[in-house]
Amino acid sequence: MEVKIDASWKEVLTPLFEKAYFKQIVAHLKTEKALKSTIYPKGSLIFNAFNQTPYDQVKVVILGQDPYHNPGQAMGLSFSVPEGVKPPPSLMNIYKELNKDIGMAIPTSGNLTSWANQGVLLINAALTVRADEPGSHAKIGWMQFTDDVIKILSKEKSRLVFLLWGNFAGQKQILIDHSKHKILRAAHPSPLSAHNGFFGCKHFSATNEYLVQHNKNPINWTP
């Protein structure tokens, strides 16, 4: 698997690409390709989160679990879908909370590239998935890779905001140094759980308040 990745991340991640788990990921994806399995997102977008948000510009991390597993949705950015694709239910709930929190009009576009370009790392814990099979690549090595990414960000950077939504993402807080970063936890924005604490969490205004306090530009949350 040829990895096209932003130069600032390449230096950071090259040691991870040498690890046994990453070689296992590559071997697994090659096997799936040989079997003609459909994998999302397409190869050029697997590392899209890293390409859209250079390492030296990361300010906020929003952790998802899995890429979208339906056709035309996954684009390598957690919760985001390409222009022209209807925003999925979880993203619509994110927009509803943004509307309540900061008064942002609910957009029709589900493309969050503008967030990524402002320093919001939109990363899923697994960077690939087999079509129509959520969680199908959760155990091929991606979890170790993205855990290591979170550890590197926690150790090497300071004053980042980590948005951890749902039980799965919440478990990742043990990887983060609480003394030098802001961790915001809430229920997942899925329709199954958004009413259990995602709505009303005010994470977006809290994120911007923290960034401003530490002399960083706030995020313009309009996609």
Q: Which residues are catalytic?
A: 66
Q: What is the per-residue pLDDT for 49? A: 97
- Stated as kind and residue range, the H or E segment containing 78 is none
For 170, counting Cβ atoms within 10 Å of its Cβ (0-12 exposed, 13-18 middle, 19+ buried), the class is: middle
- Stated as kind and residue range, the H or E segment containing 61 is strand 60-64
Of 194, 1, 13, the closest CA to residue 90 belongs to: 194
Could you report the per-residue pLDDT of 149-187, keeping only the tens digit for each? 999 999 999 999 999 999 999 999 999 999 999 999 999
pTM value?
0.97
Could you report the per-residue pLDDT of 68-82, keeping only the tens digit for each? 999 999 999 999 999
